[in-house]
Structure formats: C-alpha cells, structure tokens
Amino acid sequence: MNQQTFRFSLLLGTILMIATGCKKLLVEQPRLGFAPTFFTTSDGIQGGIAGIYSSFRSQWGTQIFTQLYNSGTDESIRGAAADVQHWFTYNQPLIKSSSGDYEGFWNTLFIDINTANGVLEYGASVDIPAATKTQLLAQAKFLRGFCYFYLVTTFGQVPLHTTFNTSPSAADAPAPLADLYAQIIKDFTESAADLPNLPAAGTGKPGTKSTALYLLAKTYLWRGWSAAAQPADFQQAYTIAKGIIDNKATYGLDLLPFFNNVFREGNEYSAEVLMVVDHTKDLKFGQNNQPGTGGGGAGANQSNFFWRAGYDLIKSDYPGTSGTNVVGRDIQNGRPYRRIRPNMKYVLETAFANRATDQRYNGTFQTIWLSNGGPYPTGATTTTPGSNGATVNGKVLINKVDTAIWLRDRVVTPAERAAFKGIIFEPDYQPGATIKFTDQMFPTVRKFDDSTRGDQNDYSDRPYILFRFSDVYLIAAEAAIKGGATLQDAATMINVLRTRAALMPNQTPAEYTAAVAAQQITAAQVTLDFLLEERSRELFAEDTRWWDLSRTKKLVDRVKLFNPEGGPTVQSFNMLRPIPQSQIDLVTEGPKYPQNPGYE
C-alpha cells in the first residue's frame, strides 16, 4: 500500500446521517489519522462514513477533475482557458510526463477505502442498536464498493485491500481484474440488502438501496465489457436495472416530467436524483464559499463555471474591442472560466440534431444573453429593467428586455442580422458563417447554474447531482444491446427518455402528441452508437462521457470521427488513465509497481 493510503485529514463537522437515532452533528475534531480504537465508538464509525462522503467534494465539481473526465471525448474541446490541455489533445509525451494529474483522485479513493475498512473491521463491536449498526456497516460497504468502482473503471487493475492499515508499507501490487470486480459486486450486493429504500429525513441523498443496485447494475455492465467478463453479466445488468425501474415507487424514484426541471435550482433532491455530493454555505462545515471573494475550500463546487463562455468579453463593436460591454458579468449569468466548450459540430449535427421535437438541447445550453447594462464591479447589482444598455449597429439595447448576444444553431441571412438589435454568433464550422463561435464564446452548459450566490464570483453551494434515475434506463438499454435482453427492450427503455424529452414550453396538446410520435425509435434503429448519442442528449457535461467511451471501447473511434483536437493522436491505451507516479515511486519492496501500458 502506498503511504497515502493510511493518511487522512478530516474535519469532522459534516455528516450525512443514515440511520434513525444517530446524531446529526459531530463535534469538530481535526484528525491526521485514524487508530483502530477510533472505530470502536459510535461517533467513530459515523465520523468515518461522514469523512468519506465529505471527501467526494474534493473531486466532483472541481476544476481539474472536471477537465480530466470530460476532455478528449466526442462531446468537448478546449475552451480559451483550459488547464490540462494535453488530455484534450492527447499530447502523448506531455501525458506521460504528467501522470500526477490523477494523483488526487487515486489517493482520495484509497484513503476512503482504508477508512471504510476500519469501519467494517472494528465497527461490528460498537455498542449501538443493532439496526443502526447494520445501516452504518452497509454504508461502509457501499462506499468501499463506490471507491473501487471508480478506481477500476479509471485505472484498470489496482491494489485490493479489504483490511484496515495503520502503518505504511513499501510493497504493493495490482490485483487481478476478476478479483476486483468480484469484490465490488460483493460490496454492492451486500450493502443493497441492508440499506434503506429511502434516505432518512434530513439526510439529503446519500447511498440507499436503489443507489447500491444502480451501481451494481453498472458494475455488471462494466465487467461484461472487460477481460474479466462472465457469461451472465449483461443479463444481470439488465435485470437489476429493470428491477429498479419496476420498483421505482418503493425507492421514491421517478423521471421528472420536464427535462429542464431536473437541474432547476432546488430540485437537487428530487425523485429523479439517486445521489448527490452535498455542499453548503454554512461556515462551520468547512470547504465552503467565502462570500464576496469568490473563494472557497478545496472541495468548493465550481461546476457552474467550467463550461461557461466569456460573454462579458463581447463589446458593442464586436469583433472589435473598443466598444462597450453588451453584457456585464453578473450573478445570474455566472463566472466564465471557459475551461471546456461543447464540440459544436458533434452537438448540432449528431447528438442534438433533432432540436425540433427534443427539448434537451435547449435544456442543456444557454444560447441567449440579455442586455444588462454591465460591466459591474464585484458585489454590484445589475441595471434596472427598461434602462438603456449598449448600442449595437446604431440600435440601443434595453436592459432585461433585448437579447444582446444570440448563439444561433445555423448561419443567418444578412437580413436577419440587420434586423436584430444585438450580436448574432454562428457555428464556426458551417460554411458562410461570419461572426463565429470561438473558444471564448460558445453555447454554455446551464445545468449547474446557481443564482443564489452572494457575489458574481462566488462558487456554488448547490448539491452536485452524481447519479440520476434516467441513467438506469440507459444502463438497461446498453445491457439489452449487448445481449442481456432484446433490441426491442432497448428501444423501449430509450423511448421512455425520448418521450419525456418531447415536452417543450408553450406546446399545444396536438404539438406534444406529434413530438412524442416523432421521438419514438424502433428496434431496428438501436445501435451502440445511437445509445452513446442518447447518453450525450441526456447526460451532457455530467462527468460521465470519458467513462462511457472507455467502457464501450468506442473512445478511439468516436474521438477520431468527431474531435479535431484529439482525433489525430488518441490511442487505444487512453481507455485507461495512467497510474500516478507517486504510487510507482513509493513501492520500493518487491516487484516494481507497473505503469499502465502506453504510459511507460
């Protein structure tokens, strides 16, 4: 085990309580490490579980993590301020010299695994009610399975540890893939048997029975694609996913009727959400925002910034730079980090080609910005509606009324441009485009918007939605395509999501009926590529895409086909990520720890 595995720094302030009768808060107690005796107390096992949940904030919704797992796919290319650019372009020499990119993810999950092992090894002797103990130990199994699921699906073979370690070791080795999958399946199967159907009141969305079953189905799906595949894997994945769907009322799950509402602020704990990574403004819980400064802890949720275009850079004389801002940076429109941008040719021509009867393009992307009289200094508010904003082509924009920036999905005519008050951008890849999308200005992902922030530069305190019920349908469809059921079963699953996507604002009943009919697919239309495009429509920017392409062995084909940045240089070995160099360097006894092929 590498030396990071037993080190842990935990601020025991936040805890997701799982069982009835457990305390909602623990006394704040910074710790540098856990001794076995820590897990022989009620507060110890609760604190260990709380610490694992809390650690997920340092990954999901953070800057480097988001780019590492969304870059180099068919869906995305670099924004103007991208960080780990070698993963967007598959610059293999830079990738090989940057194997520390994944060190934080690796270390966090192995620390969490050791904590879960401590809970499981010593928690059985804690003097608490049996039902409460069962729930807490089930949480530990679920969380260990969760961590190993992400390690194996990211790196392939990794060390397998199921006992608590209190001291560093200089020896370690990757376990066989079959053993790793067997352990993950065991943890999810056993935790699903004991976890509650519904989260306890006031606990948000931690792991429950349906979450464990969801990840169990997904594990069977992953194993079915892997070198450790078993004959019944895809059938198991389909059966488990179908069982979640058939028993959705028992688990308090359902699709929301309107796609846009899934990510509407305040719906983070809705029936469509299986699990979230919680965040809060409350200073006593740590890893929070610092209002008015744009600051935040290492686990601050910045997801509302990464896919956001530089709307505040557009001047009234665009493409000139001497005019006045047509839109100022404000709380509503968000802080434009410009790290990642949609690969618009893929988005418009493949994934979201059917925008007439499918709401998910409009529900995913912001394409218009109203005049607001900016720019504004930090802490300032926007101009009152009705006052004058910038003047574009001799036309005065009215704040909060006129559209200052419009990102169209096609090339417009000269007459359309002349009649429009603001500035129209067109897809940069389309012939005849004049004012084009750029790495600064592109359709912005709106799923993570947070209008409740106190300042325009503050990070978000919204819970980060990790798993959604809609993915259960997609898992079932993929398993059916691979032989776990029939292609008709796959079409049936996909059509549920496509029916929901047909609902649009201001539709008449007749228009809705026609849209639903247009959205339906037949078994003959079901292919793996169609499913992957359906996953784009449903889950765009939700930190799943690299894993989806890796699992289905489609990374190289689809990046070469759709991504002009990564296509020329992507290699098959990029379907795994490199083992962090620190792990290799810390193994000094026994055989040298191996790097994944291609990254040596």
pLDDT in the model for residue 533: 98
Residues 6+ apart with CB under 8 A from 453: 289, 331, 459, 460, 461
- Phi (first) and psi of residue 254, to 5 degrees: -175, 160
Tokens of 587: 């193994």
Report pLDDT digits (tens) over 550-584. Answer: 999 999 999 999 999 999 999 999 999 999 999 99
pLDDT in the model for residue 286: 47
| Alpha carbons 560 and 569: distance in angstroms, whole number | 8
Q: Are strands 423-425 and 403-407 parallel, antiparallel or unpaired?
A: parallel
* Whether residue 295 has pLDDT greater than 60: no
* Whether residue 291 has pLDDT greater than 90: no
Tokens of 135: 């729930």
* Whether residue 29 has pLDDT greater than 60: no
* Whether residue 211 has pLDDT greater than 90: yes
Domain locations in the chain as residue ranges? 298-462
* Whether residue 425 has pLDDT greater than 60: yes
Tally of residues, the chain: 600
pLDDT in the model for residue 290: 47
Confidence at 167, pLDDT banded by 50, 70, 90: confident
User: Comparing 247-261, 281-295, 490-504, 547-561, which segment has the lowest mean pLDDT?
Assistant: 281-295
Question: What's the pTM?
Answer: 0.92
pLDDT in the model for residue 381: 56
| Alpha carbons 82 and 71: distance in angstroms, whole number | 10
pLDDT in the model for residue 40: 85
- From the list 198, 200, 240, the residue with the least C-alpha distance to 219 is 240
Work out the average pLDDT over 264-279: 95
pLDDT in the model for residue 299: 78
Amino acid (1-letter code) at residue 579? I
> Regarding predicted confidence, which is higher, 402 or 7?
402
pLDDT in the model for residue 201: 85
| Alpha carbons 495 and 560: distance in angstroms, whole number | 29
Report pLDDT digits (tens) over 466-498. Answer: 999 999 999 999 999 999 999 999 999 999 999
Confidence at 35, pLDDT banded by 50, 70, 90: confident
Q: What is the DSSP letter of 269?
A: T
- Phi (first) and psi of residue 462, to 5 degrees: -70, 140
What are the counts of helices (DSSP H) followed by strands (DSSP E) for the chain?
Answer: 20, 13
> Regarding predicted confidence, which is higher, 593 or 283?
593
pLDDT in the model for residue 281: 62
Tokens of 105: 């993810």
Tokens of 78: 């670099």
How many C-beta atoms lie closer than 10 Å to residue 376's C-beta?
Answer: 18
Distance of CA 36 to the CA centre of its chain: 34
* Whether residue 364 has pLDDT greater than 70: yes
Confidence at 454, pLDDT banded by 50, 70, 90: confident
pLDDT in the model for residue 204: 85
User: Comparing 20-34, 137-151, 326-340, which segment has the lowest mean pLDDT?
Assistant: 20-34
Work out the average pLDDT over 324-345: 95
CA dihedral 138, 144, 150, 156 (to 10 degrees): -130
Work out the average pLDDT over 421-444: 97
Question: For all residues of the chain together, what is the average pLDDT?
Answer: 90
Report pLDDT digits (tens) over 90-120. Answer: 999 999 888 789 999 999 999 999 999 999 9
pLDDT in the model for residue 300: 85
Q: Is 18 helix (H, G, I), strand (E, B) or coil?
A: coil
pLDDT in the model for residue 230: 98
Confidence at 38, pLDDT banded by 50, 70, 90: confident
* Whether residue 294 has pLDDT greater than 70: no
Whole-Å CA distances, 287 to 11, 18, 239, 295, 459? 9, 21, 39, 10, 11
Report pLDDT digits (tens) over 491-527. Answer: 999 999 999 999 999 999 999 999 999 999 999 999 9
Angle of the 103-122 helix axis to the 63-70 helix axis, nearest 10: 100
pLDDT in the model for residue 99: 76
Give the percent of the chain with pLDDT over 90.
81
Furthest C-alpha separation in the chain: 77
Work out the average pLDDT over 321-328: 94
Report pLDDT digits (tens) over 338-355. Answer: 999 999 999 999 999 999
Q: Which residue has the tokens 């592109």?
A: 442
Cβ-in-10-Å burial (0-12, 13-18, 19+) of 495 comes to middle
Is the separation of the CB atoms in 144 and 187 below 8 Å?
Answer: yes
Give the side-chain half-sphere CA count within 13 A for 379. Answer: 4
| Alpha carbons 208 and 56: distance in angstroms, whole number | 17
Give the strands of the sheet with 423-425, arranged side by side: 368-370, 403-407, 423-425
